[in-house]
């Protein structure tokens, strides 16, 4: 931002050709995902009670940095950097030159944007809609004792109907990939197709989209005296996101950092104090 690093990120929206195409995936440029290239992340922080209901005080925070971001039509990860016989798009060089000439005034925020980003958006107004639309959701789960939860399942569901068809299609069509962090699976990345989500929401009666977590181990004394309440989607409210607000939470071409704190249950028989 102004007075600091004046950064601009360019990313293509097509993959490689030939044998290099083995690295391609929808929503990527052959090497990186469009959603992860955009460094203007959003963060959702919430605590869930013993019934996996969101406690008051949850927060959705937008990035406070000004990092310019452009999707360049028809470019891959190499051609956008002027390799692989690039650039393929006549706007690429224009963007690179302009990014090298920006000044602090081009990054001074006014509302939700800044002048340099608005100039980028005007070069190709429909590029975000034309590019494969995915969200990178990075989750981290811990409990109220600050212990990381390494075995959990992120739940998306609707409360309006319990026939489970909506949830089945969500997990089959919307979630394209799940990648736990090998060194610490309390962190994981979910890759969501926003185009498929839009189609799904349009095809079902949905008033709210709920978000919750199912974690291991389940609290089941005396066999399992320490753990978390096992609550199915039909029994949990989670965080209920009104339909009109879903695009604010689950937006294409960006990363959502999801921080969830669960309530750990401990049976009274775990610690027994006796008189000496």
Which tops the pLDDT comparison, 273 or 251? Answer: 251
> Does any domain span residue 275?
no
pLDDT at res. 144: 95
- Checking if the pLDDT of 248 tops 80, the result is yes
> Does any domain span residue 3?
no
> Does any domain span residue 90?
yes
> Does any domain span residue 31?
yes
Q: How far is CA 24 from the centre of its chain?
A: 20
Range of the structural domain that residue 133 is part of: 8-265
> Does any domain span residue 59?
yes
Chain segment 99-134, per-residue pLDDT in tens = 999 999 999 887 678 999 999 999 999 999 999 999
Chain segment 9-24, per-residue pLDDT in tens = 999 999 999 999 999 9
- Give the residue carrying structure tokens 């494969």: 132
Instruction: Give percent above pLDDT 70 in the chain.
Output: 97
> Does any domain span residue 1?
no
DSSP assigned state of 150: -
Chain segment 198-223, per-residue pLDDT in tens = 999 999 999 999 999 999 999 989 88
> Does any domain span residue 204?
yes
The Cα-based distances of 90 to 95, 163, 195, 272 in angstroms read 9, 51, 28, 73
Task: Specify the number of domains making up the chain.
Answer: 1
Cis status of the peptide bond prior to 52, with omega within 30 of 0: no
> Does any domain span residue 2?
no
Residues 6 or more apart in contact with residue 233 via CB below 8 angstroms: 155, 157, 167, 210, 212
Chain segment 55-76, per-residue pLDDT in tens = 999 999 998 878 999 999 999 9
């Amino acid at each position: 931002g102004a007075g600091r690093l004046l950064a601009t990120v360019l990313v293509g929206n097509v993959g490689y050709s030939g044998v290099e195409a083995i690295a391609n995936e929808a929503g990527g440029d052959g090497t990186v995902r469009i959603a992860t290239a955009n460094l203007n992340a959003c963060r959702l922080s919430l605590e869930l009670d013993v019934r996996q209901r969101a406690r008051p005080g949850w927060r959705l925070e937008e990035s406070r940095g000004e990092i310019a971001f452009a999707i360049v039509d028809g470019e891959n990860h190499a051609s956008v950097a002027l390799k692989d016989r690039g650039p393929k798009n006549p706007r690429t060089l224009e963007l690179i030159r302009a990014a090298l000439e920006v000044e602090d005034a081009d990054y001074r925020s006014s509302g939700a944007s800044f002048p340099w980003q608005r100039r980028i958006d005007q070069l190709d107004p429909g590029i975000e809609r034309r590019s494969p639309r995915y969200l990178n959701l990075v989750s981290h789960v811990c409990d109220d004792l600050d212990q990381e939860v390494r075995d959990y399942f992120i739940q998306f569901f609707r409360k309006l109907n319990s026939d489970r068809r909506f949830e089945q299609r969500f997990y089959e069509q919307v979630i394209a990939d799940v990648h736990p962090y090998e060194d610490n699976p309390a962190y994981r990345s979910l890759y969501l197709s926003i185009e498929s989500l839009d189609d799904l929401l349009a095809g079902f009666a949905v008033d709210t989209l709920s978000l919750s977590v199912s974690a291991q181990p389940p609290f089941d004394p005396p066999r399992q005296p320490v753990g978390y309440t096992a609550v199915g989607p039909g029994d949990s409210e989670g965080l209920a996101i009104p339909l009109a607000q879903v695009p604010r939470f689950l937006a294409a071409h960006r990363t959502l950092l999801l921080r969830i704190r669960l309530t750990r249950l401990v049976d009274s028989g775990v610690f027994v104090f006796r008189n000496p």
